[in-house]
């Protein structure tokens, strides 16, 4: 029987993601200081803390509602580009799930795929531009296989941004000087999928 996931699972994931972002905020900011505004870690820390607080106070009843609520919260509390981008990712994924009370992993993969497409449209970027999409695109695709595969794909995608020259965002202003630095957005995206894999593993679901 195919494992399915409800609102509580998605809320646990985002709460775990908030904890991971809090722990890694300084590293994210260090990465951003090299090729950005040096605020990525602080911004995401504030945004995901607000998400976790909101979900704890008023738990949404469906997986889609969890994601759309989180997305709205990120857009309203996170400054810079990361708030609208991550907010769009989660809101679009949530809308794709609709009112379904429980969803399987492949359905989640479809929803995240819709979210990633929305991010690409909003930012005008594609894989290879040294952005969060370098982690998000392969992760969403690999989620069809397993949570662990999505985690690995996101982490590999983030590492693969190191030799790239940035073609979008503030880092693109640096030209060749952006080469040799890991993209902070791709790194934080990998953190989200790592938290998702850990949350699934806690439920005994490795696939």
- Could you give the maximum distance between any two Cα atoms of the chain, in Å? 51
Q: Encoding tokens for residue 15?
A: 């709460």
* Residue 58 lies inside a defined structural domain of this protein: yes
Place of tokens 């983030």: 158
Is residue 60 a contact partner of residue 69, using CB atoms and an 8 Å limit?
A: yes
Question: What pLDDT, in 10s, does the model give residues 86-131?
Answer: 999 999 999 999 999 999 999 999 999 999 999 999 989 999 889 9
Q: What is the CATH number of the domain that holds 88?
A: 1.25.40.340
For the segment 181-191, the average pLDDT, to the nearest whole number, is 94
Q: What whole-number distance in Å separates Cα of residue 193 and Cα of residue 146?
A: 11
Tokens 């400054």, located at residue: 79
Q: Is residue 206 part of a domain?
A: no
pLDDT at res. 170: 65
Q: DSSP letter for 168, please.
A: S
Alpha carbon distance 73, 52 (integer Å): 10
**131-162 pLDDT per residue, tens:** 999 999 999 999 999 999 999 999 999 999 99
Q: State in Å, rounded, how far the first CA of the chain is from the last one.
A: 13
Residue 81 has pLDDT above 80, yes or no: yes
The residue-averaged pLDDT of 39-65 equals 96
Rounded mean pLDDT of the chain? Answer: 92
Q: List Cα–Cα distances, 133 to 56, 90, 92, 157, 179, in angstroms.
A: 29, 14, 15, 9, 17
164 in a structural domain: yes
Domain count of the chain? Answer: 1
Q: What is the mean pLDDT of residues 41-59?
A: 95
- How many Cβ atoms are within 10 Å of 106's Cβ, its own excluded? 12
What does the radius of gyration of the chain's CA atoms come to, in whole angstroms? 16
Tell me, yes or no, whether 51 lies in a domain.
yes
CB count in 10 Å sphere of residue 125: 22
pLDDT of residue 165: 75
Domain for residue 207, yes or no? no
In a domain, 133, yes or no: yes
Q: Tell whether 44 is covered by a domain.
A: yes
pTM for the whole thing? 0.94
Quote the domain boundaries for residue 161.
Answer: 4-201
């Amino acid at each position: 029987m195919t494992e399915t996931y409800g609102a509580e699972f998605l809320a646990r994931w985002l709460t775990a993601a908030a904890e991971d972002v809090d722990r890694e905020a300084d590293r994210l900011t260090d990465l951003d200081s090299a090729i950005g505004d040096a605020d990525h870690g602080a911004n995401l820390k504030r945004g995901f803390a607000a998400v976790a607080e909101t979900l704890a106070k008023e738990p949404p009843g469906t997986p889609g509602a969890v994601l759309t609520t989180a997305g709205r919260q990120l857009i309203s509390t996170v400054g810079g580009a990361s708030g609208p981008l991550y907010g769009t990712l989660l809101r679009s994924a949530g809308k794709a799930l609709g009112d379904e009370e429980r969803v399987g992993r492949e359905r989640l993969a479809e929803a995240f795929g819709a979210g990633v497409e929305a991010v690409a449209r909003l930012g005008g970027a594609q894989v290879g531009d040294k952005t969060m999409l370098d982690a998000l695109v392969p992760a969403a695709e690999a989620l069809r296989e397993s949570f662990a595969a999505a985690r690995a794909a996101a982490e590999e995608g983030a590492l693969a941004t190191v030799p790239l020259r940035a073609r979008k965002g503030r880092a693109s202003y640096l030209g060749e000087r952006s080469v040799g630095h890991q993209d902070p957005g791709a790194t934080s995206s990998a953190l989200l999928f790592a938290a998702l894999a850990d949350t699934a593993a806690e439920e005994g679901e490795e696939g």
